[in-house]
Chain A
Amino acid sequence: MIKPIHLVISFFLIVSGCLNRPKKLPILGEKSIEGNDTSFHLIPDFVFINQDSQMITNETFANHIYVSDFFFTSCPTICPKVKRQMLRIRDAYAHENRLLMLSHSIDYRKDSVPVLKKYCDKLGIEGPKWHFVQLEKGQLEYIANQYFNVAFEDETAPGGYDHSGRIILVDPERKIRSYCDGTDPEDVDRFIKDIQILLNEI
């Protein structure tokens, strides 16, 4: 016979189960399934030289999570907005050493290491946690696509390049776990929370 106390206990068990289940970020991108194995979209191998003339590869980001964007230093339109949001993200996690940042410049002509270094200095960006790199001409579209972004040369676009303002979150296994529109502060608010969810997971 079901007594009221059974209902009360069941109610609490159900509710606490719902409340305690940790939210996990999805794994984004195309998956392929072969038999019992699922392969997820992964960030490919890369080698770059950053603004401090240090070589960085995927190894630099192993055991970390990182956020990434695409920009160029002379960009007049969306880049300043996205950079402001990247700075917000940096400040929100200033003491979190497990979070790194990677900004890709798509201006293969002008954004050399000294130019990137000067840009970082002007924005007060220093230290080993935020890497600025210059893509080569042939890499623009491929690498941008791997990070769910779009980037290409367009002489009719202001600055000469056209690109999207998405900011991407990558986990320690190179999987993309979240993204946001870097020109939308409210979307970035949500993204900043996603970063904490991923930090809790690793």
Chain B
Amino acid sequence: MKFSLWILALSCTFFQCSHQTFTQGEQLFNVHCSGCHGLDGNGLGSLYPPLTAVGQLQRNQEVFGCLVRYGRNDSIVINGVRFDEPMLGIIELSSIEIANIHNYIVDTWHPETSKITEDQIHKQLEHCTK
């Protein structure tokens, strides 16, 4: 009886841990990103783009770190809609925070995209063209 309780406790911990990777990501997303991109990731009209378009995260994965830290000023087209509002970067987010936001987006809207590590984000941030 005691043994099965231990097994139960351990498996609960295990499942908690495996979901832990994007909890901070979710909180950071809600604080920093959801204002414009929406809690549902659908953006706002043709003012702020959605994050849910097919393949969107994959296409931007290599510049994700730079996007989040420094923003972007170019015009983009998603699902036939043009978005040309500048995106402000969030300079105070660390590489691990940016990685967690990325992985929250994977888990929520882009399960087909691979998760990213802090190390990969760190390397991206060394090469941003601002």
Contact = CB atoms under 8 A, between A and B. Distances in A.
Contacts of A6: none
Nearest to B87: A76
A77 B35 contact: yes
Contacts of A177: none
Interface stretch (A52-60, A78-86, A100-108, A190-198): A78-86
A160 to B, nearest CB: 12
Interface string B21-63: 0000000000000011010000011111000000000000000
Contacts of B85: 74, 122
B88 interface: yes
Main secondary structure of the interface of B (DSSP, over half): loop
Contacts of B36: 76, 80
Contacts of A78: 35
Given A76-B36, A78-B35, A80-B36, A158 B88 contact: yes
Contacts of B44: 80, 83-84, 123
Nearest to B43: A80
Nearest to A123: B45
Given A76-B88, A158-B88, A122 B35 contact: no
Contacts of B46: 121-124
Given A119-B47, A124-B46, 19 more contacts: A74-B85, A74-B86, A76-B36, A76-B88, A77-B35, A78-B35, A80-B35, A80-B36, A80-B48, A81-B35, A84-B38, A84-B44, A122-B47, A123-B44, A123-B45, A123-B46, A123-B47, A124-B45, A158-B88
9 contacts: A74-B85, A74-B86, A77-B35, A78-B35, A80-B44, A80-B48, A81-B35, A84-B44, A121-B46
Interface of A: 74, 76-81, 83-84, 119, 121-124, 158
